[in-house]
Amino acid sequence: MSKVAKKITNKKHASPRRSRVISGEEHGPGPSSKHDQILELLRRKQGASLEEMQKVSNWQPHSVRGFLSGTVKKRLGLKLQSSKSSDGQRRYSVAG
């Protein structure tokens, strides 16, 4: 097998980003990563608006929505609820 083929093969099996723990257990007390900070907002009784999550993470709106869909719902398997207030602002929260 050539060196190039070995590198390609090794890259398929080595995925350090996917093996990391997102829940914050490895960080100690207090949220330290953007993921942890957003999850803290979502766990509040009133939940979090898109703007609040953007402010904490410094992400664009589509990135926050992608995080909610891909990481919170699919990867972590959490139930995400959304509600719209009378002023038209949508708030997201983690159920339970």
Q: In the chain, what are the domain boundaries?
A: 49-96
What the block records as the tokens of 53 is 């999550």
Say how far apart CA 21 and CA 82 lie, in whole Å.
25
Confidence of residue 68 (pLDDT cuts 50, 70, 90): very high
Is residue 27 within 8 Å of 36, Cβ to Cβ?
yes
**DSSP readout, 35-61?**
HHHHHHHHHSTT-EEHHHHHHHHT--H
pLDDT at res. 50: 96
**Is residue 92 predicted with pLDDT exceeding 90?**
yes
Q: Per residue in 7-57, pLDDT tens? A: 555 555 544 555 455 554 554 555 589 999 999 999 999 999 999 999 999
Helix and strand tally (H, E) in the chain? 4, 3
pLDDT the model gives residue 39: 96
The reported pLDDT for the residue numbered 2 is 63
| pLDDT value at residue 89 | 92
Element (H, E) at 12: helix 3-13
Report the alpha-carbon distance of residue 17 to residue 7 in Å, rounded: 18
